[in-house]
């Protein structure tokens, strides 16, 4: 069956890791079945909407390759809205929600409520004191028709509330199995607010119906609301979609993943040099693994193998070290040209030839940002203190002698284009000379890199070439002799 799925975020800022996971799962299911992935913007709570909020979400989805087919999408660098069932932004669909709120009233399934905020606060406090679940007390449920008309005529502020019937809702959740919620636990939810906006609960039902959504995939925090939605679907005489509630993401200390414990905005990981494939892999496998025999999947494999019933029911711990590891796996697999391309946004543009640097550094760096910053020491020798040239078991004089020996050896080399050969023959030569490895390789490496901690001298020679290597060695000898 062709599935129509949707991702329905509120435009309240950045797209978080958890939201991205939900979006990806909806994207996979739609793509796997040849259906459509819809991006709908839920902005009924206008106070929470932020400037650029829609664009942030859509752009992040685009950057990770999960462009929606319908609703909002990013095409040729531009934010567009497409699809025949639009508008796909709830604040532009107010008449539709109002129509169904009034229909629910007409059918006796909802009612006007004129209770003041003060009254509602009072009953809530009293219920809390009596250790009861805070719920509407149905004060306005059975008002006389004339009373209602008179209040409406005099512009008394009102909301519309649904009348939750007695009984139970059975949710056949595709991840959690059957979940039964007794309606005694479900409040008479406001469905239309006094400002004329619907609440999320009415809007989500109307939209999922008219947008022909077949499976709703969303965060577990919405599970307690699902009975309200099922009741509304039923009252309106519509078939409900299937549901899958994706478990929460947790910090390593098992608390709910939050901004306070580090960065959770998906886009910031892209900006910090994680490749989209690794982010997709990392986020998709939080509490889910398509085959359980490996951890690395190409984005298309997630589509082919996607299976909601394999998503774990318990909360998934987010461990960003794993993202470093995954990113490294992807970077190591990429060839130099590919990596060079990916590196572009992270470079100043005047680095010149970086091929050999990428070759020697790619298996060592976790991110593109790290890889980009590994370039500078190769390109330009930083100033350093002469004393770091001296190996701990050695002295300055030895360091000078050794650098001179090394200089002569390197000057005599004719092949510097094969790093394996370079390393093997130089080590062989050191052995033949009866020199202590550390005595020569330490000062040589520091001379070439300008740093105590750096890649090997062989990698430096391979990358910077003979002339630059000899220049750096001369510079080191000068330093040790007390020159500049």
Selected binder of ligand GLU within 5, 8, 326, 365 (CB under 6 A): 8
Q: Catalytic pick from 168, 170, 256, 259? A: 259
Please say which residue, 318 or 461, places its beta carbon nearer to ligand GLU.
318
Backbone angles phi, psi at 469, to 5 degrees: -65, -45
Residue 171 binding ligand GLU, by CB under 6 A: no
Q: Is 192 exposed, middle or buried (0-12, 13-18, 19+ CB in 10 A)?
A: buried
**How far does the chain reach from its first CA to its final CA, in angstroms?**
75
Q: Which parts of 219-238 interact with ligand GLU (CB under 6 A)?
A: 222
Please say which residue, 204 or 422, places its beta carbon nearer to ligand GLU.
204
Q: How far is the CB of 202 from ligand GLU (least distance, A)?
A: 12
Q: Which helix (H) or strand (E) holds 44?
A: none
How many separate helices (H) and strands (E) can be counted in the chain?
19, 13
What percentage of the chain's residues is helix, strand, coil (to nearest 5)? Answer: 50, 15, 40
Please say which residue, 204 or 473, places its beta carbon nearer to ligand GLU.
204
Q: How far is the CB of 45 from ligand GLU (least distance, A)?
A: 9
Q: Which parts of 318-337 interact with ligand GLU (CB under 6 A)?
A: none
DSSP string, 197-224: PBPHHHHHHHHHHHTT-SEEEEEGGGGG
Q: Which stretch binds ligand GLU (CB under 6 A): 4-12, 122-130, 148-156, 274-282?
A: 4-12
Cα distance between residue 308 and residue 310, in whole Å: 5
Q: Which stretch binds ligand GLU (CB under 6 A): 5-13, 125-133, 185-193, 351-359?
A: 5-13
Q: How far is the CB of 19 from ligand GLU (least distance, A)?
A: 7
Please say which residue, 114 or 222, places its beta carbon nearer to ligand GLU.
222
Backbone angles phi, psi at 316, to 5 degrees: -105, 130
Residue 18 binding ligand GLU, by CB under 6 A: no
Both tokens assigned to 130: 């009596």
Both tokens assigned to 437: 């490895």
Cα distance between residue 233 and residue 239, in whole Å: 6
Q: Which stretch binds ligand GLU (CB under 6 A): 7-15, 29-37, 183-191, 277-285?
A: 7-15
Is residue 344 annotated as part of the catalytic site, yes or no? no
Q: Which stretch binds ligand GLU (CB under 6 A): 8-16, 188-196, 341-349, 351-359?
A: 8-16
Residue in the structure block whose two tokens are 């993943």: 257
Q: Return the sign of the alpha-carbon dihedral for residues 41, 43, 48, 51.
A: positive
Please say which residue, 39 or 64, places its beta carbon nearer to ligand GLU.
39
Q: Which parts of 353-382 interact with ligand GLU (CB under 6 A)?
A: none
Please say which residue, 11 or 443, places its beta carbon nearer to ligand GLU.
11
Beta bridge partners of 136: none
Both tokens assigned to 277: 């494939």
Q: Which stretch binds ligand GLU (CB under 6 A): 6-14, 327-335, 345-353, 461-469?
A: 6-14
Q: What is the DSSP letter of 74?
A: E
Please say which residue, 5 or 398, places its beta carbon nearer to ligand GLU.
5
Q: How many residues bind ligand GLU (CB under 6 A)?
A: 8
Residue 71 binding ligand GLU, by CB under 6 A: no
Residue 204 binding ligand GLU, by CB under 6 A: yes
Both tokens assigned to 210: 């008219």
Residue in the structure block whose two tokens are 């050794």: 402
Strands 78-82 and 316-317: unpaired
Given a contact cutoff of 8 angstroms between Cβ atoms, the answer to whether 166 and 64 are in contact is no
Q: How far is the CB of 90 from ligand GLU (least distance, A)?
A: 9
Q: Return the sign of the alpha-carbon dihedral for residues 66, 71, 72, 78.
A: positive
Given a contact cutoff of 8 angstroms between Cβ atoms, the answer to whether 470 and 407 are in contact is yes
Please say which residue, 246 or 444, places its beta carbon nearer to ligand GLU.
246
Q: Which stretch binds ligand GLU (CB under 6 A): 2-10, 64-72, 269-277, 409-417?
A: 2-10
Selected binder of ligand GLU within 5, 10, 214, 475 (CB under 6 A): 10
Q: How far is the CB of 161 from ligand GLU (least distance, A)?
A: 20
Selected binder of ligand GLU within 4, 9, 111, 175 (CB under 6 A): 9
Cα distance between residue 240 and residue 357, in whole Å: 57
Note the residues at the interface with ligand GLU (CB under 6 A): 8-10, 42, 200, 204, 218, 222
Q: Catalytic site residues?
A: 259
């Amino acid at each position: 069956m062709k599935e129509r799925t949707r991702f329905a975020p509120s435009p309240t800022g950045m797209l978080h890791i958890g939201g991205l996971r939900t979006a990806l799962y909806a994207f996979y299911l739609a793509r796997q079945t040849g259906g459509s992935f819809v991006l709908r913007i839920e902005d009924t709570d206008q106070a929470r909407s932020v400037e650029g909020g829609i664009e942030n979400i859509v752009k992040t989805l685009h950057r990770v390759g999960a462009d929606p087919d319908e609703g909002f999408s990013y095409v040729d660098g531009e934010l567009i809205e497409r699809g025949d069932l639009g508008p796909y932004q709830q604040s532009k669909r107010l008449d539709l929600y109002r129509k169904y709120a009034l229909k629910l009233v007409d059918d006796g399934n909802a009612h006007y409520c004129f209770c003041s905020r003060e009254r509602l606060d009072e009953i809530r406090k009293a219920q809390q004191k009596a250790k009861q679940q805070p719920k509407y007390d149905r004060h306005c449920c059975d008002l006389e028709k004339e009373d209602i008309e008179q209040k409406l005529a005099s512009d008394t502020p009102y909301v519309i509330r649904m009348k939750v019937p007695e009984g139970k809702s059975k949710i056949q959740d595709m991840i959690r199995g059957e979940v039964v919620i007794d309606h005694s636990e479900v409040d008479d939810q406001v469905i239309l607010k006094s400002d004329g906006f619907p609440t999320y609960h009415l809007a989500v039902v109307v939209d999922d119906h008219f947008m022909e959504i077949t499976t709703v995939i969303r965060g577990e925090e919405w599970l307690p609301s699902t009975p309200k939605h099922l009741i509304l679907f039923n009252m309106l005489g519509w078939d409900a979609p299937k549901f899958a509630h994706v478990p929460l993401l947790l910090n390593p200390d098992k608390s709910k993943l939050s901004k306070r414990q580090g960065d959770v905005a998906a886009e910031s990981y892209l900006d910090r040099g994680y490749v989209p494939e690794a982010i997709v892999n990392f986020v998709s496998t939080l509490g889910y693994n398509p085959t359980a025999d490996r951890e690395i999947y190409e984005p298309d494999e997630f589509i082919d193998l996607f299976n909601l019933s394999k998503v774990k029911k318990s909360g998934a711990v987010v461990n960003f070290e794993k993202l470093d590891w995954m990113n490294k796996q992807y970077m190591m697999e990429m060839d130099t040209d590919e990596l060079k391309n990916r590196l572009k946004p992270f470079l100043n543009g005047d680095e010149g030839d970086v091929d050999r640097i990428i070759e020697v550094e790619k298996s060592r760096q976790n991110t593109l940002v790290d890889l980009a910053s590994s370039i500078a020491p190769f390109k330009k020798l930083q100033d350093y203190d002469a004393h770091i040239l001296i190996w701990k078991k050695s002295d300055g004089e030895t360091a000078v002698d050794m650098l001179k020996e090394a200089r002569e050896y390197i000057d005599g080399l004719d092949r510097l284009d094969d790093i394996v050969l370079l390393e093997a023959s130089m080590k062989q030569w050191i052995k033949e000379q009866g020199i202590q490895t550390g005595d020569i390789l330490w000062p040589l490496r520091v001379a070439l890199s300008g740093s105590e901690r750096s890649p090997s001298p062989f990698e430096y020679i391979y990358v910077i070439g003979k002339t630059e290597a000899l220049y750096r060695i001369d510079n080191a000898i000068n330093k040790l002799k007390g020159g500049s």
